[in-house]
């Protein structure tokens, strides 16, 4: 039973933009903070951004601050990641996930569950 589905990845030149989307089932989305993580080849999965249920609080990794924006539409059970000024080092598989504890936002991987299958983002130099 697929509960989170990411889309919007692709190949883009450095300096370009992409918008990732994550569609979730209501059961895992409602009242949960949502996060985006990424995993580059031969690297550990790392935190990218997170947003609370009410959208009042957002967290970003230092590496993406000022370039990426996380948002959500609770009526559509969806979370988004707008990525601008992309760099080759942003190349990775991007995953969305829902917080384990409702209403609790975090930056650690073990604070999230119900991972999607990921969407590939490739930034060429």
Q: Which of 13, 20, 6 is nearest to 83 (CA)?
A: 20
> CA 20 to CA 81: how far, in whole Å?
5
- Could you report the per-residue pLDDT of 21-63, keeping only the tens digit for each? 999 988 888 899 999 999 999 999 999 999 999 999 999 999 9
Taking residues 69-94, report their average pLDDT: 97
Q: Which of 24, 66, 26, 31 is nearest to 51 (CA)?
A: 31
């Amino acid at each position: 039973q697929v509960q989170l589905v990411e889309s919007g990845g692709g190949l883009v030149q450095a300096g370009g933009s992409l918008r990732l989307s994550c569609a979730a089932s209501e059961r895992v989305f409602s009242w949960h903070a949502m996060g985006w993580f990424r995993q580059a080849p031969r690297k550990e999965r790392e935190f990218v951004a997170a947003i609370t249920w009410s959208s009042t609080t957002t967290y970003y990794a230092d590496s993406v601050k000022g370039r990426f924006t996380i948002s959500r539409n609770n009526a559509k059970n969806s979370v988004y990641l707008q990525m601008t000024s992309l760099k080759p080092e942003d190349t990775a598989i991007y995953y969305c996930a829902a917080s384990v504890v409702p209403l609790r936002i975090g930056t650690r991987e073990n604070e999230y569950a119900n991972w999607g299958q990921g969407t590939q983002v490739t930034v060429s130099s």
